[in-house]
Chains A and B, each alone.
Chain A
């Protein structure tokens, strides 16, 4: 996976499809990532993706492979990539033998912590709020832990605020539930 996901800079005026190919190599051809802790991008709202690509370009969100990937992107490049990503199909929910008790707990936690209010009732996200339905469970766990620990500051501090009272056990159940939403 590491070899697959190394970013290789491409010279010249490649088409958007050619420039987009390395993204898909890691994040998945059809909007769904098969790689641990690498997020699925399908159907992410364009404004959210634009913010993340911008943060990577400005190194306000630090991850070498992504900082390198968008190095030298113009503002228009960021907008085009954000729009292109938003048109990928939504990732299908994690398909395994679902534990109904955990699903019920996760659903209750979504209501308790109002995830549904910002991320929308189906957790499909909107505008600057990402889609978390069908996201990789390991990525959701990692991300929420990073927000809670102030390791990932985020664009504004909304998620650090939200996660402040949420226990690690609840993070696991929330991720389990969200990953299994269509």
Chain B
């Protein structure tokens, strides 16, 4: 579309009075059309959106002081307690545990990775890498730290032996797409000793370019890249079923369709290299997209095993195979719901416990930690969970730059 002001003036100068009248009429018509309400299919959406004040919630750049953390707002189940494991971990995102007990923490809007070390009962937060671009995805395998930045995957070997002076990461897989939207990655190592990560779609809703919207796997040496699953929008949580050895992952569904539809999903890959989870044609397993879904059916795609709430931002998940939290939590999935922004009444902002049937299908979901939403505002936002060797569960909070620890009351002294 031409810029009307310039085109009208140029046109008038070149074609004289008659032209001027025509051009002026055209300009008026364009102005009128532009001011008209949007087409009928869009009207309800536009009118409602004009009154709403929804916006993505940016985490504050500076971590919250330890004495200002919202610990008194966070609630867990009777018989459990929640405490601060570490404060001053800016934008704390993915959590990973080293063989020697170091807790590794990634960030998304910062350029750093952190190690939390416990020594003589005191915790210290060390920066172990910086100058990274959205290093959200981290994984540990046999002493090596693998790092998924926005457009490359790298590694640092023997990381726990070099926490005070770690070498620079070595790139093992480069040249991934550089799109910022949904460009940050989740990274995990499979039972086959390969790295798994996703390339999210570079948009809210669109027909993704060829390389996007897929889960990939690649060897630990960066060789043998292949597609593992298709039709995903964005993933910030994956883990492996302890006995079935299948990949479970949370998926964030599209925004701006409605307050309540579609919901985020818990998915499972049962047919590696074949499963297609529906994006952009089908959402939440039963709802065709109003734009891309025509002529398609949700029956073409792999259904989610559970729906996790509209806009709830289901992120990190881990199977809990320990027994420190009691038998009732053996083999549950703990999953952090970061919480909604694209919804008038916020939902999520909690850690849920998901129970599965023996065949890996969904049985139930219940809240385990709540309270991150107070009066429809965030006092914190949970991102990832990490079962510890002592049976406790760590939870990262990228809003406050903190890590919390949940354990059974009375058990913590012995466990330490």
Interface residues of A (CB under 8 A from B): 47, 50-51, 54-55, 58, 60, 75, 78-79, 99-102, 104-105, 107-108, 111-112, 114, 116-118, 120-121, 126-129, 150, 153-158, 160-161, 164-165, 167, 169-170, 172-173
Contact = CB atoms under 8 A, between A and B. Distances in A.
B56 A156 contact: yes
A54 B61 CA distance: 7
Contacts of B8: 101
Contacts of A127: 55, 58
B387 interface: no
B140 interface: no
Contacts of B364: none
B54 A161 contact: no
A115 to B, nearest CB: 11
B49 to A, nearest CB: 5
Interface of B: 1-5, 8, 27-28, 30-32, 34-36, 38, 46, 49-50, 52-58, 60-62, 108-111, 133-134, 178-184, 202-204, 206, 256
Given A54-B61, A99-B5, A102-B5, A150 B55 contact: no
Contacts, number: 123
B180 A172 contact: no
A104 B31 contact: yes
Given A51-B61, A156-B109, A164 B4 contact: no
Contacts of B50: 111, 116-117, 121
A88 to B, nearest CB: 21
A117 B108 CA distance: 24
Contact of B27 (A101, A128, A167): A101
Contact of B183 (A107, A120, A157): A157
A-B CB proximity, top 10 nearest: A118-B55, A161-B181, A160-B180, A99-B5, A128-B58, A157-B180, A104-B34, A54-B61, A101-B4, A101-B31
Nearest to B203: A164
7 contacts: A47-B60, A101-B8, A116-B49, A127-B55, A128-B58, A157-B183, A161-B204
Interface SS of chain A = helix
B130 to A, nearest CB: 9
Nearest to B45: A114
Contacts of A58: 110-111
Contact of B49 (A55, A117, A126, A150): A117
Contacts of B35: 104, 107-108
A129 B30 contact: no
Given A128-B58, A160-B179, A165 B38 contact: no
B135 to A, nearest CB: 12
Contacts of B2: 169
Contacts of A47: 58, 60
Given A117-B54, A156-B108, A169 B31 contact: no
Given A55-B61, A102-B4, A156-B109, 7 more contacts: A104-B31, A111-B49, A121-B50, A128-B57, A156-B56, A160-B181, A170-B1
Contacts of A121: 50
Contacts of A172: 3
Contacts of A60: 110-111
Nearest to B36: A108
A104 B36 CA distance: 9
A118 B179 CA distance: 22
Contacts of A126: 53, 55
B62 A54 contact: yes
Contacts of B206: 164-165
